[in-house]
Amino acid sequence: MSKADRYQQLQDIINGLDDDFDKFYDKQNKAAGTRIRKAMMELKNLAQEIRTEVQTIKNQQEEAE
């Protein structure tokens, strides 16, 4: 995946949480809390994928030198 794709994935998850944060913190909507937790797990998993991808690319670059 390209840098732009990965960055867009992160932005999509974060931007999608705005309404749920308002609903959970301001209106005490429990279902919004569940959606926040789910999105946070997706964000965590995506961050780990990106971290692994960055390390792999870094290692490949070092081997090529």
Mean pLDDT of the chain: 94
Q: pTM above the 0.85 mark?
A: no
**pLDDT value at residue 2:** 84
Quick one: which of 52, 43, 42, 37 has its CA closest to 1?
Answer: 52
DSSP-assigned letters across all residues of 34-65: HHHHHHHHHHHHHHHHHHHHHHHHHHHHHHH-
Distance CA 26, CA 34 (A): 15
Task: Look at residue 1 and tell me whether its pLDDT is greater than 80.
Answer: no
